[in-house]
Amino acid sequence: MADGSRLHISVPDGRRRLPLLILSAVLFLSACAGLPPPPKPAATYLTLSDPSQAQEAVMAALGLMDTGYRFGGANPEAGLDCSGMVSYVYARAAGLELPHGAARMAGLTRPVPRSDLRPGDLVFFNTENRPYSHVGLYIGEGRFIHAPSSRGKVQISSLDHGWFASRFEAGHSLLRP
């Protein structure tokens, strides 16, 4: 080669496919080794500014015993439905605006195991063959207060006995962990 002759490399007929194969391999490997997806933002839940507000909400709810039921109702004078009752008591006891609708409340509150329920926590039930279709306010000792349509008045029921026992879905809290 010192005589100025050129080195010739023989390329088989597939020479045009080689760059394409290399590019495909690089893209494939870079896709597998790419950056992980960005982390999801931490869930933000509605919380009470003072834990004593949960007890105040329980007391406010107990004051609504025997208030008539009304679908979509959000005040005692006109009647209350389940989420209307919970919204009403938390607005009065804590100045906290909860949305109307059990499922919407569930999406804004922190899930807690049933064994960790404390007075003022929310309890959710599947009463209409759809998740989070009923909500009540846990008052302690396995009991909750709610506005069921079946009997037409705000009342206390048990988590462990009766119609709601088999329909319990989840507990959620407005208290910080």
Active-site annotation, residues: 82, 134, 146
- Are the beta carbons of 94 and 87 closer than 8 angstroms? no
Q: Using CA atoms in the order 102, 175, 154, 64, what is the torsion angle rounded to 10 degrees?
A: -130
Residue type, 111: P
- Are the beta carbons of 83 and 90 closer than 8 angstroms? no
Burial class, 171, CB count within 10 angstroms (exposed 0-12 / middle 13-18 / buried 19+): buried
